[in-house]
Amino acid sequence: MSNKPLSLEEQLKVNDLTVRFYTYEGIVKAVEKASLKIRKGETLGIVGETGSGKSVTALTILALTPSPGRVEDGNILFRKRDSSVIDILRMNEHQLLQIRGKEISMIFQEPNAALDPVCKVGEQITEAILAHRLREMVEKSIEVIKKEKDNEYDLWTRLETWTYKEMLNNPSDVRLKIIQKIPIIRDITKRRLRQVIRQEIVELLKLMEIPDPGRVIDAYPHELSGGMQQRIVIAIALACSPLLLIADEPTTNLDVTVQAQILDLINRLKEKFGSSIIYITHDMGVVAEISDRVAVMYAGSVVEVAPVKELFRNPLHPYTKGLLESIPRPGSPLKSIPGTVPNLVDPPSGCRFHPRCAYMMNKCKEIMPRLVKVSEDHYVACLLYEGESDD
């Protein structure tokens, strides 16, 4: 997979992404030439241990690489709603605001940490809606006013209508700006808008299968359980029906029963919203349940990509084999991969897996293998299969 443009059925393509962290201890080579693609409407599972670079990759897709990380190389091609293709890494901050939350959004590992503790849940969802769907909401509010015929000559209603029309047609109007600055007037002139948004949020929360949405809107995050919090985070992510949803271990910190509910919910919402999903996890069981295709990451690189059934039936990379064998099964002894995850400040030369690999050859120490196609839709980065390439 090189720098090929995006084909029509593809939603996102990550090419040779390299991210490094500049720390006192040295340069952490967190992601090294990682490549991925996600088709429209597909769920791609990314599996790997802690420190394999999956979360960094996910955040980099939103151009939110955590500091002190820096993208050194690669590109991230994304097909927007209007079918134009952009490279996320080459957007300016203003353009990115139109991508984040609207075209691509994200669900986080710890719902408790991903919600602002001093901000009501409803306010946080409102923010997402206001950031991207203000126009739609204002139009709806005007509709609402039109339906209430008896209020037509009410001065306040007229001011409110005027405000909305100005917001749509001439948002930089000075009079509008003045009105927005005066506390009480500001609230009165946005009464319907607030009702419309609240109604929208209630509908959204119902979709998230949240009981009693009216109460939850006015709650603070700490008043909700972990499962409820995660539903709120999902609601925020889906508030603007994104094309791509990145879920970074969304069930890891939840109880097992809640885990199943959330997985179920994500699966159903995917059908409804038609979004593509990148599902990051270290749990092979979850991967099997949710993904169409799976990418396996090890020490910052993608080592194998295949449809989920193919991967479980015919794992090719020695690391994938090891991962599958280390799933505990009743009756058989627990297997593990010998050795430990390498220190990414000073990663092994060549193939990063070679010190732990049972099939290690001499050239593995020197050559870093590239992803090659071994069969339809099955790619692997391992020198054992280099010759079979027909790519």
Partner 1 sequence: MSSNLRTYIARRLILLVPTLIGMTVLVFAITQLFDPIERAALYITEPRQARFVKEIIAKYGLDRPVYIQYFNWITQVIQGNLGWSQSLHMKVLDALVTRFPATAELAIYSTPLIILFGIYLGKLSAIKRNTVIDHASRVVAIIGWSLPSFWLGIVLLAIFYGGMGVFPPGRLSEWAEALVRSGEFKLYTGLYTIDALINLNFSVFLDAIYHLVLPVITLTTINVALIMRVMRSSMLEQLNKMYITAARARGLDEKTVIDRHATRNALIPVITLSGLLAAGMLSGVVITETVFEFKGVGYFAAHAATQLDIPAVLGFALFAGILFILANLIVDILYAYIDPRIRLG
Partner 2 sequence: MIRWIKIEESPRLKETKFILNRIRENPLSLVGLAIVISFAVIAIFAHILAPPPPGRDPYIIPRAGYFPEPQPPSPEHAFGTTQGQYDLYYGIIWGTRAAYRIGVLVVAMSAFIGIAVGSLAGYYKGVIDEVLMRLTDIILAFPSLILAMALVVAFGPGLDSITLALILVGWPGYARLVRGEFLRISAEDFVEAAKTIGCSNLRIIIRHILPNAIFPLLVYASLDIGSIILVAAALSFLGLGPPEGYADWGQLISLSRNWITGTAANPFAYWHVYTIPGVFLFLFVMGWNLLGDALRDVLDPMLRRR
Between the two ends of the chain, the Cα-to-Cα distance in Å is: 9
CB nearer to partner 1: give 128 or 295.
128
246 close to 280: Cβ distance less than 8 angstroms:
yes
153 touches partner 2 by CB under 8 A: no
Q: Does 354 help bind partner 1 (rule: CB under 8 A)? A: no
Helices (H) and strands (E) in the chain, counts: 14, 12
Distance CA 170, CA 172 (A): 6
Residue 294's identity, in one-letter code, is V
Q: Of 19, 31, 62, 295, which lies in the binding site for partner 1, with binding defined by CB under 8 A?
A: 62
Task: Tell me how far CA of residue 27 lies from CA of 16, 58, 63, 353, in angstroms.
Answer: 18, 20, 20, 19
Token duo for residue 90 = 């080459």
Report the residue number, 346 or 388, with the smaller CB distance to partner 2: 346
Q: How far is the CB of 21 from partner 2 (least distance, A)?
A: 9
Interacting residue with partner 2 among 3, 7, 25, 389 (CB under 8 A): 25
Question: x/- contact string, 199-228, with partner 1 (CB under 8 A)?
Answer: ---------------------x-xx-----
Stretch that binds partner 1, among 32-40, 114-122, 320-328, 376-384 (CB under 8 A): 114-122
Tokens linked to 353:
């897996």
* 319 contributes a contact to partner 1 by CB under 8 A: no
Maximal CA-CA distance, the chain: 86
Q: Which of residues 63-92 bind partner 2 (CB under 8 A)?
A: 67-68
By beta-carbon proximity to partner 1, the closer residue of 58 and 299 is 58
Q: Are 180 and 173 in contact (CB under 8 A)?
A: no
**Quick one: which of 8, 24, 82, 117 contacts partner 1 (CB under 8 A)?**
117
Give the DSSP H/E element, type plus range, for residue 249: none
Return the SS3 of 313.
helix
List contacts with partner 1 (CB under 8 A): 59, 62, 64, 66, 93, 97-102, 105-106, 108, 110, 113-119, 124, 127-128, 131-132, 220, 222-223, 233, 236, 240
List contacts with partner 2 (CB under 8 A): 23-25, 67-68
